Amino acid sequence: MKYLLALDQGTTSSRALVVDHDGKVVAVAQKEFTQIFPQPGWVEHDPKEIWASQIGVAADALSRAGASAKDVAAIGITNQRETAVVWDRKTGEPIHNAIVWQDRRTAPFCDKLRAAGHAKVIQEKSGLVIDAYFSGTKVNWLLDNVPGAREKQIAANWHSAPSTPG
C-alpha cells in the first residue's frame, strides 16, 4: 500500500501525517521546537532544530504507520511561508537563525521604503504592500546585519535589491 506523507512545518511545531489511499490518517507525529525572542518584537527559530524536528516526526509517523520511505507515493508540504532563512551555499549551513513571519524588526526599514516613495513600484512588481510581515525585508536584514552574509551571498552569485532606499 502506498501512502501520502504530509509534512506541516508550523510556527511552533513540526508535524507529519501518514494518509492512506482513502484519505484516512493512519499515523501522526508532532514535535514542538524552541521559540527564540532576542528582544521585544523579534522572533527567531533555529533552522537546524526545525530540520531535525521535521525529519524526526516524518520518521516517527512512518514508523507508527508500519511503513517506510519506499511506501510513500507522494509528499505534501506546508510551511510558515514568510519566515526567512539564508543558507551558505558552500557549506549548506544557515548563516543565522530564521526570522519568523511575525517578527517586526524590519518595520523601520519598511517605513523608510514608504517614505522614499517606493510603495507603488513594490506593489506593482510584487503584488504586495510594504510590510515587515513579508520575507524580502527579512532577507535584507540578514544580509545587512549578519557578519559576512553579503560576502557569502556574492560568492554564491545570488543578488538582491540594494539595502537602502533610493
CB proximity list for 92: less than 8 A, separation 6 or greater = none
Classify 139 as helix, strand or coil: helix
With a cut of 90, say whether residue 19 has pLDDT above it. yes
Q: What is the pLDDT of residues 51-70, one digit of tens each?
A: 999 999 999 999 999 999 99
Residues 54-85: b if buried by 16+ CB within 10 A, e if exposed = beebbebbbeebebeeeebeeeeeeebebbbb
Q: What is the pLDDT of residues 121-156, one digit of tens each?
A: 999 999 999 999 999 999 999 999 999 888 776 554
Burial of 90 (0-12, 13-18, 19+ CB in 10 A): exposed
Please count the CA atoms within 13 angstroms of the CA of 74 that sit on its side-chain side. 6
